[in-house]
Amino acid sequence: MSRLYLDHNATTPLRPEARAAMLAALDAPGNASSVHAEGRAARATIETARAQVAALVGARPAAVVFTSGGTEAANLALTPDIGGAGAPFARLIVSAGEHPCVLDGHRFPAGAVSRAPLLPDGRIDLAALDTLIAGGRVMLALQAANNETGVIQPLAETAALVRAHGGLVVCDAVQMAGKLPFDMGAAGVDAAILSAHKIGGPPGAGALVFGRPALHILPAMLRGGGQERGQRAGTENAPAIAGFGAAAQAARIGMGEEGPRLTAIRDAIEADVRAIAPDAVFFGAEAPRLPHVSAFALPGVTAEFLLMALDMAGMAVSSGSACSSGKVKASHVLAAMGAAPGLSRCAVRVSLGWSSRNGDRDRFSEALRRVLTNLRRHRRDATA
């Protein structure tokens, strides 16, 4: 039987639409900066993708700056000096549950960065944030939804608080975009970070999208030929960008059906887990969550053991962020939510996506049941 992939938050399988767009771009020679017919065709491919990505987040196509991925977009955005935003920002506030590329990849001095705590349900503590903001104009970095727990942040309320103090909001929308409707204007965010491979596009493509016409990258980190309107130099990766655009369009069109479909599978899996392991603890279940993510712990069963056992049973799940050097380690997100270290070390994540099917629930639940039955039998034998 083929393996079962339940780690879409780490990377999502390539959509057929993205594959077709990439192959077409690979077969078409031409540099998008060239003026001949082939160059103009490559430029048209990129601009089509730019419009498709912009539509996914309710932005203007001209606001999209293509990058090599979400990490580069974060590094570009999290700088004291954003063009068009006025005087440089003296401080950066990040929520304590942010992705490592936001926690560690910014261009602010270390002493200018502070972390806003999370509530036990995984949402940002707005009262604490209000205290942190007091006394100065700040930049806030806040995920739309957490990559480990799926918890959705109160973006509009948070952005209103920051903007009332003259601040600016940079939103990591990598996990939200394409899963649930996300409109930058409605959310009140000034810049959004996107990644192609989280929505069925290829790795190596991402975008930084600005919410206001005046905003732009300053200074550019990559300087050269002036591509991306001078904000990110280097010949554009037209095939990857084409795949990004096609995936964005497919995700946007299918979102209305995909959300309820994946919610039903996720909820059925959680019901099975509760039946198999009544002491299971689910993280962020009290807050609004993405429809395709479940993070839970089975007390006394380490994540490392469970991941390896399920891998041997033919399925891929995760213990949290896949961008932490490939190690199973304690989650800073769960720690920020107040989870006990022992419980955090037992946390695993199941994440679904466009290629998930109803039958995946049965395969996962049966495998989990077998793994836990064998573990309990081994423990009984060891103490007999």
Q: Please list the active-site residues.
A: 323
The span from the CA of 353 to the CA of 355, in Å, is 6
Find tokens 């056992």 and name the residue: 309
Q: What is the DSSP letter of 62?
A: G
Backbone angles phi, psi at 265, to 5 degrees: -65, -45
CB burial string 297-326: b at 16+ within 10 A, e below: bbeebbbeebbebbeebebbbbbbbeeeee
Coil, helix or strand at residue 55: helix
Q: Looking at this protein, which amino acid is placed at residue 337? A: M
Cis peptide before 291 (omega within 30 of 0): no
Q: Is the dihedral of CA 39, 45, 46, 50 positive or negative?
A: positive
The interaxial angle of helices 359-383 and 238-276, nearest 10 deg, is 50
Q: Looking at this protein, which amino acid is placed at residue 216? A: H
Please check whether residue 197 is in contact with residue 169, taking contact to mean a CB–CB distance below 8 angstroms: no
Longest pairwise C-alpha distance within the chain: 79
DSSP run (H or E) holding 91: strand 91-95
The span from the CA of 111 to the CA of 55, in Å, is 37
How many CA atoms, within 13 angstroms, populate the side-chain half-sphere of residue 54?
Answer: 16
Find tokens 């033919």 and name the residue: 314
